[in-house]
Structure 1
Amino acid sequence: MNQTSHAARPQRLRPELPGLGNDAASVRQRVEMLERVLERSFTIPGIRRDVGLDAIAGLVPVLGDVLTAAMGAYIVWEARNLGLPRWKLWRMGANVAFDTALGAVPLVGDAFDLFFRSNSRNLKILRAHLDKHHPEAKVIEG
């Protein structure tokens, strides 16, 4: 019986899917995708206003606001993992909390969600940090 040791087995090559790593470029890609889903999924015809899941889910009382708050908190968690300074994390968390609190108000909150984009603000904070501290993750837009 020929048993091969664990060390002698060939390593399987596992292809990396884009955006699934912990490097700054992958985190940036994930956060940009999530911001697009939450804030700019499609355009309302006639008024040409971009809206996303944040505004739509806000129409569902409580559950929609909790869901979008959790998704916004994920962006802050990713920023924490990248080592953003505490004051920037507090600012990002305040954006999510403010959006959640006002978005939970019936009718007024739904209109508010169309104009206050906490996830876009948080992406701007994260991009500025990445551009300064992780220039290799910078995306050149053409």
Structure 2
Amino acid sequence: MDQPQRPVPLQAQLPLGKDPLSIRRRVEAMEQVLERSFVIPGINRAVGLDAIMGLVPVLGDILAAAMGGYIVWEARNLGLPKWKLARMAGNVLFDSAVGAVPLAGDFFDFFFRSNTRNLRIIKAHLDKHHPSSRIIEG
């Protein structure tokens, strides 16, 4: 007889530590939620909450910007240089500003992935300064 499986605790799914590996996993999870949560059938294009929330005028754009800001905040906790943080903040602000334009902004959100760009900046920093946090992707 099969035993019911216990749900995996949130801490095991998403590390809550302040070490570089835990931060890397949280940022990767946030980027996936914001940019690649769902696949649109027919065109096989991945989209996330950033593009979906952008469909809700004003409030959706504010929430998407706040969630993108979380990634910048985590980068600050990692000690990224100010110029990299400014570049990341610029990505979020540019995405938010253009994304706020009705219809054209929604189309733009479909292609410009500020959170993916910011994740690349964080990964490059971690790979150089904290190589033990590097994850081999298969």
Q: TM-score normalised to the size of structure 2?
A: 0.90
Please report the RMSD computed on the Cα atoms of aligned residues, expressed in angstroms. Answer: 1.3
Distance in 1, Cα, partners of 2:64 & 2:51 = 9
Whether 2:110 is the aligned partner of 1:114: answer yes
1:47 maps onto 2:43 in alignment: yes
> 1:16 Cα deviation (Å)?
9.6
SS of structure 2 residue aligned to 1:43: strand
Instruction: Please give the alpha-carbon distance, in whole angstroms, between the structure 2 residues aligned to 1:27 and 1:75.
Output: 9
Partner residue, 2:84: 88
Tell me the equivalent position of 2:127: 131
Instruction: Find the residue that maps to 1:17 and give its secondary structure.
Output: helix
> Partners of 2:57 and 2:45 in 1: how far apart?
23
Aligned pairs, how many? 128
1:17 to partner: Cα distance: 2.5
Map of 1:12 onto structure 2 = none
Equivalence for 1:17: 11
> Distance in 2 between the 1:111 and 1:53 partners?
14
**In 2, Cα distance between the equivalents of 1:56 and 1:111?**
11
Write the deviation string for residues 4-55 of structure 1: whole angstroms up to 9, x where unpaired.
xxxxxxxxxxx99241100000000000000000000011011111100000
Identity of paired residues, percent? 71
Distance in 1, Cα, partners of 2:10 & 2:42:
41
* Alpha-carbon distance in structure 1 between the residues aligned to 2:122 and 2:65: 17
Task: Flag structure 2 segments of 5+ consecutive residues without an equivalent.
Answer: 1-8
SS class of match (2:102):
coil
| Secondary structure, counterpart of 1:139 in structure 2 | coil
Give 1:129's aligned amino acid: H
Cα distance in 2, alignment partners of residues 17 and 98 from structure 1: 33
TM-score normalised to structure 1 length: 0.88
Note the residue ranges of structure 1 that are not aligned, 5 or more in a row: 1-14
Show structure 1 runs of 4+ deviating over 3 A: none
